[in-house]
Amino acid sequence: GFRTCILANTWLDDGEGRLRRARLLGRLRREFPALLESCRLGMRQPEPGIYSHALQALQAQPHQV
């Protein structure tokens, strides 16, 4: 009965390794209800807003995590 997500402190990558990383993230998206990337949210860890977004994505309250 646990809900989980991945909260990744990432950046947009246009380097040679981008396809490998994209494949990995694609696999992870199939396994977790939410994969939250800082570069796509416009926030990075440890900004409080990114954690609020994770709580919202998981439909959870702070006291539940």
The domain spans of the chain are 5-58
Output the CATH code of domain 5-58: 3.40.50.1000
Hunting for tokens 């796509």 — which residue is that? 40
Asked if the model's pLDDT at residue 12 lies above 90, the reply is no
Hunting for tokens 């939410």 — which residue is that? 34
Cα Dmax for the chain: 41
DSSP β-bridge partners for residue 5: 34
Identify the band that residue 10 occupies on the pLDDT scale cut at 50, 70 and 90.
confident
* CB atoms inside a 10 Å sphere around CB 34: 16
Question: Global pTM?
Answer: 0.75
Q: Residue 25: in which H helix or E strand, if any? A: helix 18-31
Cα separation, 9 vs 6, in Å, equals 10
pLDDT digits (tens, 9 = 90+) for 13-58: 788 888 888 899 899 999 998 999 999 999 988 899 999 999 999 9
